[in-house]
């Protein structure tokens, strides 16, 4: 028998000792009393583990004969949880729930064990039971704790904080339990700050622009002329923050300038609160601004606005 299994079974000794004590007070449970005597005289951990298994099987048989024994279902549930037999623990607590009905303490225990059987996840029925039980007992400590855990899993940090602050207030000032809850609350606050920093660092900007050529300048351009649409920093940096190229034949056109169009990773749209938008029709083979080019500009354009901008090409560079 593996050592880990023996360890788990020996953890059941206090539970099964209670069971055996109860059985000693009832004459019909002679077998359980006999097993308790064997347990007291066992010499090795392996011998004790075998007897503990027998005691557990005897408890299970007891529930076959009397399926409405609340105390036995409760003890069997604890036994299965200790052994990490979570699916069996769910079955046991379901029977307890069947008999006891919607009693908050049973409901919270039920949801907790179901989450154990689901690798610690509360989504689905455990969530529903916790919420229902908290309506019946809104200050229940176990319920507030479990509801907070579920909220963290769902990314609802505010709900978790609300529940755990309420739980924190129920413990004696400076007690170990209060200090422990405070640690978890502080961790959530740290996570909020970390998330805000991450969101700020990955802030992305996308500017939607409607580029139009003024009718007054139609005679000044050819269909194949290049149209450069770009954003510049307010300080007139030589390198555009974002740029794309179209043809006059594309006008009028809707375009989107975003961080993916940046020419350098260290200088993007999202690094600036305001930019200058430019649309320029090049009349030469050089993509630099030259006299004779047609241009339209928008100054002091905020980068945190989702509304589209209209950019009209209406001037000629002299």
pLDDT digit string (tens) for 33-52?
444 555 555 556 676 667 66
> Do 143 and 33 share a domain, yes or no?
yes
pLDDT digit string (tens) for 51-99?
667 777 877 888 888 888 888 888 888 878 877 889 999 999 999 999 9
Q: Which of 146, 164, 198 is the last residue of a domain?
A: 198
CA-to-CA distance for 293 and 166, rounded, in angstroms? 67
Alpha helices by DSSP H, listed for the chain, are 3-11, 13-24, 30-41, 45-65, 70-82, 86-100, 104-117, 125-136, 141-153, 157-170, 176-201
Cβ-in-10-Å burial (0-12, 13-18, 19+) of 309 comes to middle
State both tokens at 255: 């375009």
State both tokens at 55: 């005691």
> Do 152 and 77 share a domain, yes or no?
yes
> Do 229 and 148 share a domain, yes or no?
no
Q: Which of 174, 198, 222 is the last residue of a domain?
A: 198
> 141: which residues sit within 8 A by CB, 6+ positions away?
167, 170
90 closest CA partner among 71, 59, 111, 67: 111
Backbone φ and ψ for 156, nearest 5 degrees, come out as: -95, 80
> Do 140 and 166 share a domain, yes or no?
yes
Report which secondary-structure segment, H or E, holds 313.
strand 309-313
> Do 121 and 184 share a domain, yes or no?
yes
> Do 181 and 76 share a domain, yes or no?
yes
Q: Which of 173, 198, 223 is the last residue of a domain?
A: 198
CA-to-CA distance for 1 and 48, rounded, in angstroms? 12
Kindly report the number of other CB atoms within 10 A of residue 163's CB atom: 23
Check residue 1 and give its pLDDT.
Answer: 38
User: In the chain, how many domains are there?
Assistant: 2
CA-to-CA distance for 301 and 289, rounded, in angstroms? 21
> Do 120 and 215 share a domain, yes or no?
no
> Do 216 and 305 share a domain, yes or no?
yes
CA-to-CA distance for 4 and 11, rounded, in angstroms? 11
Range of the domain at 228: 206-316
Strand partners, 267: 264
> Do 137 and 31 share a domain, yes or no?
yes
Q: Return the DSSP state at 172.
A: P
> Do 15 and 164 share a domain, yes or no?
yes
> Do 178 and 225 share a domain, yes or no?
no
CATH number of the domain encompassing residue 187: 1.25.40.10
Q: Residue 21: which pLDDT band, with cuts at 50, 70 and 90? A: very low
Check residue 13 and give its pLDDT.
Answer: 47
pLDDT digit string (tens) for 200-241?
555 568 899 999 999 999 999 999 999 999 999 987 667 889
> Do 100 and 212 share a domain, yes or no?
no
């Amino acid at each position: 028998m593996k050592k880990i299994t023996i360890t788990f079974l020996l953890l059941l000794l206090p539970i099964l000792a209670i069971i055996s004590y109860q059985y000693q007070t009832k004459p019909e449970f002679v077998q359980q009393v006999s097993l308790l005597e064997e347990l007291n005289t066992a010499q090795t951990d392996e011998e004790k583990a075998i007897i503990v298994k027998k005691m557990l099987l005897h408890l299970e048989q007891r529930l076959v004969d009397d399926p409405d024994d609340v105390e036995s279902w409760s003890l069997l549930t604890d036994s299965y949880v200790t052994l990490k037999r979570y699916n069996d623990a769910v079955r046991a607590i379901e029977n307890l729930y069947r008999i006891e009905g919607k009693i908050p303490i049973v409901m919270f225990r039920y949801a907790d064990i179901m989450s154990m059987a689901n690798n610690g996840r509360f989504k689905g029925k455990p969530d529903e039971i916790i919420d229902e039980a908290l309506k019946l007992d809104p200050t229940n400590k176990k319920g507030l704790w479990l509801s907070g855990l579920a909220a963290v899993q769902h990314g609802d940090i505010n709900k978790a904080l609300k529940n755990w602050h309420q739980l924190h207030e129920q413990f004696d000032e400076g007690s170990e339990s209060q200090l422990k809850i405070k640690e978890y609350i502080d961790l959530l606050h740290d996570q909020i700050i970390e998330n805000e920093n991450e969101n700020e660092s990955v802030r992305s900007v996308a500017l939607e622009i409607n580029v139009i050529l003024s009718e007054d300048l139609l005679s000044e351009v050819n269909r194949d002329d290049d149209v450069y649409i770009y954003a510049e920093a307010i300080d007139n940096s030589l390198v555009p923050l974002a740029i794309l190229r179209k043809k006059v034949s594309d006008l009028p056109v809707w375009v989107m300038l975003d961080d993916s169009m940046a020419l350098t990773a260290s200088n993007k749209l999202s690094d600036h609160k305001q930019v200058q938008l430019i649309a320029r029709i090049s009349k030469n083979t050089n993509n630099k601004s030259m006299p004779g080019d047609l241009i339209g500009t928008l100054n002091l354009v905020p980068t945190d606005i989702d509304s589209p901008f209209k950019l009209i090409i209406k001037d000629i560079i002299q």
